[in-house]
Structure formats: C-alpha cells, structure tokens
Amino acid sequence: MIPISLSCVVATSPTRMRAEDQLEMIRSTVNSVRLHVGDCIPTVVVCDHHKEADETEPWRQDKRGNVGVEVAREYARYKELLAGDPTFGTVLPLPRHYGFAHAVGVAMRHHCSAASHILVIQHDFIFNDPVRLEVVMGALRDGGFRYVVFPAGRKMVHTARHV
C-alpha cells in the first residue's frame, strides 16, 4: 500500500439555485467522495465570492462572478448553512471574487499544506464508482504524471477525444 496524505478541496460559487438545493448538491458531492474515495479525507469547501451585477442586464451575470441581488442573497444563506454543518469540514468563504483556480489555490495554501496530494472537485461533481487510490497514487509516483483527471459525464466526450 502506498502511504498517502490526501486532502479534498471542493470549490463552490453562486448558482441560480435555492440555498437548500445548493446544500443538497454539495452534500451529494462530499458524500460521494467519502463513499468512493475515502471517508477520512480532510475536506475544505472554498466559497468564491461574487460581484453584484445589474439585474436589468442579465448578460452581465456570467461565469466571471457577476450575480444579481437574489442570487447573492441565496448564496449568502447557502454559505451560512454550509458553515453551520460539520459534514463539510472546513468552510472557507472568500472576501472577494477569485475565480475557480485562484480560489482553489487559496484553500490549498492555507488548509492543505500538510497533504502530499490534493483532490480538487467542483461542488456538482459526483463520484459514481470506487476510486482505486493505490493505482492513482502509483501512477503519480512512478509514471511521471503531475495530475489525474477524473472525467465527468458532461466532459466524457471531450476526454475520450483527447486522452
């Protein structure tokens, strides 16, 4: 067995969902990690912030962190629900909009420094099958790989073409 030190970073950001629905979605994600990857993995949920956009201009509400007042309100409730639930481990709300990669970087630097490996997933990524960590970690150690991508349903066609 390969000794590993694995932490999990789950990145979340505003969605157009009710706070309770967002909470259920991320709960399914975290539970799938525990079921299929390992149940003792320290987890950090990093909550990217947002910029409020004018709701009369919906084209300004996009993937760059721009959201309307109602989405911002539901996201604030969602973050409160996350912080009050020990299921999610460490919850790290960010003070401003960072974007996915930089938000993950903040979580890694401040909460995962002791881990030799980090599993990074988005709040809506679900593992459906067991992950053989010894195989994955062996490939990282012996195969010269720097990272492993677990294909998601919406990315399967793209992955099949390029892997």
Q: Tell me what pLDDT residue 23 has.
A: 96
Task: Measure the CA–CA gap between 108 and 119, rounded to whole angstroms.
Answer: 10
Tokens 């990315």 correspond to 155
Mean local confidence (pLDDT), 90-112? 93
- Enter the CATH code of domain 6-162: 3.40.50
Query: 87 or 53: which carries more pLDDT confidence?
Result: 87
Beta-carbon neighbour count of residue 17 at 10 Å? 16
Q: By CB neighbour count within 10 A (0-12 exposed, 13-18 middle, 19+ buried), where does 42 fall?
A: middle
Do the Cβ atoms of 119 and 9 come closer than 8 Å?
A: yes
CA 62 vs. chain centroid, Å, equals: 19
Q: Tell me what pLDDT residue 59 has.
A: 53
pLDDT classification of 95: cutoffs 50, 70, 90: very high
Listed in sequence order, the residues at least 6 apart from 137 whose beta carbon sits closer than 8 Å to its beta carbon are 2, 4, 117
Mean local confidence (pLDDT), 144-160? 61
HEC string of the chain? Answer: CCCCCEEEEEEECCCCCCHHHHHHHHHHHHHHHHHHCCCCCCEEEEECCCEECCCCCHHHCCCCCEECHHHHHHHHHHHHHHHCCHHHCEEEECCCCCCHHHHHHHHHHHHCCCCCEEEEEECCCCCCCCCCHHHHHHHHHHCCCCCCCCCCHHHHHHHHHHC
Percentage with pLDDT > 90 across the chain: 42
Mean local confidence (pLDDT), 58-62? 56
Tokens 């990217």 correspond to 48
